[in-house]
């Protein structure tokens, strides 16, 4: 049995935070605001996996009202989500995602993001798609107010 899930996340910029995407620290003048490290890519992938499982969302499993999740690495959140996936006897077939931001340019970091996700989930790099796009200076991402990410996953029962 196959199941599909999709996820979406948005965080706004703050000058006093590091920018973490796909578990990679990316040099930029601003990072993203969030209770965790605000990694929009990993959050969208996490929500896609939870959705494919028919689970409640990332905010339910890792609430921003719980101090134990303050500044938590989204790699840790993704690992726990993988544990939930495996406990339900599912495995990931593939992940496809898009990061939406005007700046910074992300192409130099995508291979490292894929490697982090591959290592965390125990899947092949070739089963992970990550693209980056701009909105041609339109909307909040175009005005460089924040970053958005979307992901879709296919899982199968094992």
Listed residue (109, 128, 139) closest to 49, CA to CA: 128
Q: Which domain range does residue 73 map to? A: 2-157
Q: What is the pLDDT of residues 114-130, one digit of tens each?
A: 999 999 999 999 999 99
Question: What residues contact 123, with CB distance under 8 A and at least 6 apart?
Answer: 91, 92, 95, 117
Q: What's the chain's average pLDDT?
A: 97
Enumerate the β-bridge partners of residue 83. none
Q: What is the pLDDT of residues 75-119, one digit of tens each?
A: 999 999 999 999 999 999 999 999 999 999 999 999 999 999 999
Tell me the percentage of the chain whose pLDDT exceeds 90: 96
- The continuous run of DSSP H or E covering 8 comes out as strand 2-14
- How many structural domains are present in the chain? 1
Q: Which residues of 110-133 are buried (b: 16+ CB within 10 A; e: fewer)?
A: beebbebbbebbebeeebbebebe
Could you tell me how many residues make up the chain?
158
What pTM does this model have?
0.97
User: What 8-state DSSP symbol labels residue 126?
Assistant: G
Domain of 26, CATH number, reads 3.30.1330.50
Label residue 57 by pLDDT band (50, 70, 90).
very high
Other Cβ atoms closer than 10 A to 100: 21
Q: What is the pLDDT of residues 32-51, one digit of tens each?
A: 999 999 999 999 999 999 99
Label residue 11 by pLDDT band (50, 70, 90).
very high
């Amino acid at each position: 049995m196959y199941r599909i899930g999709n996820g979406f996340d948005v965080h706004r910029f703050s000058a006093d935070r590091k920018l973490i995407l796909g578990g990679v620290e990316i040099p930029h003048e601003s990072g993203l605001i969030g209770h965790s490290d605000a990694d929009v890519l990993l959050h969208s992938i996490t929500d896609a996996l939870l959705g494919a499982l028919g689970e409640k969302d990332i905010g339910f499993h890792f609430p921003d009202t719980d101090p134990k999740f303050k500044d938590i690495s989204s790699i840790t959140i993704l690992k726990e989500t993988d544990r939930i996936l495996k406990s339900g006897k599912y495995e990931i077939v593939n992940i496809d995602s898009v990061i939406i931001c005007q700046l910074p340019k992300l192409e130099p970091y995508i291979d490292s993001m894929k490697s982090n996700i591959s290592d965390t989930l125990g899947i092949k790099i070739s089963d992970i798609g990550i693209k980056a796009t701009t909105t041609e200076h339109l909307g909040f991402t175009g005005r460089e107010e924040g970053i958005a990410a979307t992901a879709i996953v296919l899982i199968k029962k094992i």
